[in-house]
Chain A
Amino acid sequence: MTGPTLAELLSLHSYNTRVVLTGTALLGLASGVVGTFLLLRRRALLSDALSHATLPGVVLAFLLLAALGGDARALPLLLLGAAVTGVLGMLAVTLLGRYTRLKEDTALAIVLSTFFGFGIALLSIAQQVTNVSAAGLNDFIYGKAASMLLADAWLIAGAAALTLICVSLLFKEFRLLCFDSGYTGAVGFPVLGLDLLLMALVVLVTVIGLQTVGLILIVSLLIIPPAAARFWTDRLPVMTIAGGAIGMASTVTGSLFSATFERLPGGAMIVLAAAVLFLVSFFFGTRRGLMMKLHRQWASARQVTLQNLLRDAWEWRETSGNAAFTLGQLHPYRSLSRVKLARAARRARRRGLIREESSGSYTFTREGERLAARMVRSHRLWELYLITHADIAPSHVDRDADAIEHILDPALLDRLEGVLREAARLPEIPSPHRLATEGEGGPKEEER
């Protein structure tokens, strides 16, 4: 380890560190923000074709400048070349997708590989140029964050500012474009123009980021942070900010690591940092994260068990005439282990749905009776509906109704009741109807 220590870096003592960190942070911010819209517009991979297509532009610009005797390493001109072929590549993808029978992903693959191949061929020629060294060109492929100069940082800052200004001014328009482009056109916004502007911003960020992260990996800065942000929120403004923040965090962490340890390529470290943040979001994101989903499933399974317990108890009371029940009496109703049944009973008691009369024997509370009545009502209404309107044999409806009774909402139940009454099915079968209106003056009114 010959590099500076982490503490030295974090204190931002070194001028160089300050430049590099500011530059990469701004790059991460801008790409995260733009990437959000790119992702929602479902064009994430277009940026991959774009970034690969920049290579021939960079090398061509280099060759031209070398041939004309200009400064063949003038960054703005090389980046201009990159933008030109990048846009050409994107255009080719769009045209191929629209005017041939090839699918868009095929068009992407064709443009990406052939443009890049052309770039490689040109690069091998550029290396034969004698008066200027082409060694720096490789940085465009792998990126070299550590060698960022103040001028580069200013370039990035300018691009980031432009991006942020555009996005905040046109936030509403971009939002419409991403969620309903047809409507956007119908209410009079220029869809094509907005799309072009969005793509222009993507080109800007890609080209600016080439030197830092490299053209193979720049696409990750556009894709990974927004994809990670998506796990935390359903709201676009929050997602945009989160995407920018995650992008910033990745670039800063990545460059810090690559500056601290030897032999860690900066571009790759930035991407790995982003990947780690993505993994964290994937598992722990509060909106769509895996843990959250599992928790939701678990909670709903518990809810279902509880509701089943109540209905079983109701039906036990109905058939046996006993107001009190024991768990042993309910157990045969379902294939549920005794432990789980006991747990469900404990939950029901805690929520004041049932109370323990003597040891092991329970009765409904008023609240519990009401809820049980509702479950029984929705179960039987659905059974009746299946028998009457779906022509299913009465012996076959129990399971179907079992699955759906937990998610029928009161409004739907009312409609079911209306439909069944119209079909003259309701009065003939006394049990469900009576249950439905019985007790506390009918659950129907109370639920409204």
Chain B
Amino acid sequence: MIDFVWLPLDNWIVAIGVVTAMACALPGCFLLLRGQAMLGDAIAHAVLPGIALGYLFFGTTEPLLMLASAAAVGLLTAFLVQVLHRVGGVEEGAAMGVVFTSLFALGLVLIRRVADDVHLDAEHVIFGAIELAPAFTVSVGFIEVPRALLVAAVMLLVNVLFIALFFKELRLCIFDPSFAQTAGWRPGVVHYTLIALTASTMVAAFEAVGSILVLAMLIVPGASARLLTNRLLPMLLVSLVVAAVCAVVGHLSAITLPQLAGFEDASSSGMIAAISGVVFLGVLLLAPVNGLLPRGVHRFREAVSIVSEDVLGALYRVRELTGDPGAGVDRQHLAGLLGGGPVLALALRRLLGTRRIRREGAVYLLTDRGERAARRLVRRHRLWETWLVEELGLRPDHVHSTAERLEHVTSPEMARSLSLATHGRATDPHDKEIPAMGNGGEDTDTREDLGR
């Protein structure tokens, strides 16, 4: 039902989107690492008067001129924020808010009053019109390329060169400005150079995506990359890939998704920003180590393994209390002790599968194998209790919950040392027997024994 039409025009649109996004992603990474992502937002708003004033004074929308005047206003923004913050004592976020809204308002008024004609309307600058960008071409050698593509490619090149040349300095000044200062670098200069570069890159991107959506291209690829790696160079490279992917998928979605609801194409620049958000969300959930999903799975598995051990402990204690080797516990009872739900269900399944427990009717019983593991666990619990009371002088009725947690993370070496430290006592502070590990096999269990 999706009518997929791909015109030569779309090639250009995607090319412009990809190059622009990549050009933006690079300075964005550094802004983000400096904790100044919102300065990007401030500059994105504030270049509006820069463009308007440039047009007002020079009467053209010549790209180079626009870049220069916007870069100047970008620098001015960063500088004014610092002045308000340092001299006026205004909190930095608020200072940004004051500066960029004022400048943006000034830009709106200027454009309405002075330059209200073909080339400069506020909407174009704010929303961007990537669909129209291929229409304005310049000839390079013997081929015609869209002007926006050329400008973005130049900015990408400049950014890559700048980062390649000053990689060490940038890294130093971003991660440890005070050290950089004492080592004789000039973090301030690096900072303002970066701001100027960011501002010009953003202006270069306006034609394609508009001033506010450019923020998505600036920050989102870097933020996604940040979740995927801890190293600067890989982060930069990953951010380039993410940027390209967002641009391609964004445009594709813009020309296909609205058809599902029976509409024509949606705004590509808007869609690219929205898709960036989706990509970011995907990375946030699925990132191999730090993703929310892998982290959740890891935690769940930990929980299952702890509950498995607790089941063994509970079965052992029941047997000890009743003195009946055939005593078992039913599921309802276990759920009351350890909390029910899928964690308990999985733990029981695992214990049954590894033959540590068996099932007779409704009750669960320890097998011989399971008993060994259970003894080990209970031994550790009681060793800890003894040690906590004897050595740390805690009250006997206060140590149970601590021992309950420590028993799961005690290595064989630790258990041996505990046993030595408590002088091989046979009973714990509550006069319960500390189970011995027979035939000299003192705590020599392996992870396999505990069923992990």
Show the binding face of A for B, using Cβ within 8 Å.
39, 42-45, 47-48, 52, 96, 99-103, 105-106, 108-110, 112-125, 128, 138, 141-142, 216-217, 219-220, 222-224, 226-227, 230-231, 263-265, 267-272, 274-275, 278, 282, 288, 290
In the assembled complex, B290 has its CB within 8 A of some CB on chain A? yes
Question: Which residues of the partner chain A approach B223 to less than 8 Å between Cβ atoms?
Answer: 102, 106, 109-110
Question: Which residues of the partner chain B approach A39 to less than 8 Å between Cβ atoms?
Answer: 91, 94
In the assembled complex, B280 has its CB within 8 A of some CB on chain A? yes
Give Cα A231–Cα B36 distance, bound, in whole angstroms.
25
User: Is there an interface contact between A105 and B35, defined as CB atoms closer than 8 Å?
Assistant: yes
Q: Which of B90, B94, B227, B292 has the most CB of A within 10 A?
A: B94
User: Is there an interface contact between B116 and A263, defined as CB atoms closer than 8 Å?
Assistant: yes
A33 to chain B, nearest CB (A): 16
User: Is there an interface contact between A290 and B97, defined as CB atoms closer than 8 Å?
Assistant: no
Give Cα A48–Cα B97 distance, bound, in whole angstroms.
8
In the assembled complex, B256 has its CB within 8 A of some CB on chain A? no
Give Cα A158–Cα B95 distance, bound, in whole angstroms.
30
Quick one: which of B102, B261, B270 contacts A278, CB cutoff 8 A?
A: B102
Which residues of B27-84 are within 8 A (CB) of A?
A: 32, 35-38, 40-41, 45, 84
User: Is there an interface contact between A117 and B101, defined as CB atoms closer than 8 Å?
Assistant: no
User: Is there an interface contact between A282 and B84, defined as CB atoms closer than 8 Å?
Assistant: yes
Quick one: which of A101, A110, A119, A265 contacts B108, CB cutoff 8 A?
A: A265
User: Is there an interface contact between A264 and B112, defined as CB atoms closer than 8 Å?
Assistant: yes
A101 in contact with B97 given A109-B37, A267-B105, A272-B102 (CB within 8 Å):
no
Question: Which residues of the partner chain B approach A105 to less than 8 Å between Cβ atoms?
Answer: 35-38, 93
In the assembled complex, B356 has its CB within 8 A of some CB on chain A? no
Question: Which residues of the partner chain A approach B98 to less than 8 Å between Cβ atoms?
Answer: 220, 223-224, 227, 275, 278
User: Is there an interface contact between B87 and A113, defined as CB atoms closer than 8 Å?
Assistant: no
Quick one: which of A45, A106, A118, A275 contacts B277, CB cutoff 8 A?
A: A118
Identify whether the interface residues of B are mostly helix, strand, loop, or mixed. Answer: helix
In the assembled complex, B384 has its CB within 8 A of some CB on chain A? no
User: Is there an interface contact between B97 and A112, defined as CB atoms closer than 8 Å?
Assistant: no
Show the binding face of B for A, using Cβ within 8 Å.
32, 35-38, 40-41, 45, 84, 87-91, 93-98, 101-102, 104-106, 108-109, 112-113, 116, 122-123, 126-127, 210, 212-213, 215-216, 218-220, 223, 226-227, 254, 258, 261, 263-267, 269-274, 276-277, 280, 284, 290, 292
Question: Which residues of the partner chain A approach B109 to less than 8 Å between Cβ atoms?
Answer: 264-265, 268-269, 272
Select from chain B the residue with minimum beta-carbon distance to A44: B94
Select from chain A the residue with minimum beta-carbon distance to B39: A105
User: Is there an interface contact between B267 and A268, defined as CB atoms closer than 8 Å?
Assistant: no
B37 to chain A, nearest CB (A): 4
B103 to chain A, nearest CB (A): 9
A and B contact pairs by CB, cutoff 8 A, 19 listed? A101-B227, A103-B35, A108-B38, A109-B38, A109-B218, A109-B219, A110-B219, A113-B212, A117-B277, A121-B270, A124-B266, A216-B212, A223-B94, A227-B95, A230-B89, A271-B101, A275-B98, A278-B98, A278-B102
Select from chain A the residue with minimum beta-carbon distance to B214: A113
Q: Which of B97, B127, B272 has the most CB of A within 10 A?
A: B97
Question: Which residues of the partner chain B approach A272 to less than 8 Å between Cβ atoms?
Answer: 102, 105-106, 109
Give Cα A426–Cα B366 distance, bound, in whole angstroms.
82
B259 to chain A, nearest CB (A): 11
Select from chain A the residue with minimum beta-carbon distance to B211: A216
A220 in contact with B38 given A112-B215, A113-B219, A114-B277 (CB within 8 Å):
no
B192 to chain A, nearest CB (A): 19
Give Cα A138–Cα B127 distance, bound, in whole angstroms.
12
User: Is there an interface contact between A220 and B97, defined as CB atoms closer than 8 Å?
Assistant: yes
Question: Which residues of the partner chain B approach A122 to less than 8 Å between Cβ atoms?
Answer: 266, 270
Give Cα A230–Cα B90 distance, bound, in whole angstroms.
8
Select from chain A the residue with minimum beta-carbon distance to B253: A121
Question: Which residues of the partner chain A approach B216 to less than 8 Å between Cβ atoms?
Answer: 110, 113-114, 117
Give Cα A47–Cα B93 distance, bound, in whole angstroms.
11
Give Cα A346–Cα B86 distance, bound, in whole angstroms.
36
Select from chain A the residue with minimum beta-carbon distance to B264: A128
Give Cα A122–Cα B266 distance, bound, in whole angstroms.
7
User: Is there an interface contact between B213 and A125, defined as CB atoms closer than 8 Å?
Assistant: no
Question: Which residues of the partner chain B approach A114 to less than 8 Å between Cβ atoms?
Answer: 216, 220, 273-274, 276-277, 280
User: Is there an interface contact between B96 and A45, defined as CB atoms closer than 8 Å?
Assistant: yes
Select from chain A the residue with minimum beta-carbon distance to B287: A100
A116 in contact with B213 given A48-B97, A109-B219, A216-B45 (CB within 8 Å):
yes
User: Is there an interface contact between A121 and B271, defined as CB atoms closer than 8 Å?
Assistant: yes
A79 to chain B, nearest CB (A): 21
Give Cα A288–Cα B98 distance, bound, in whole angstroms.
17
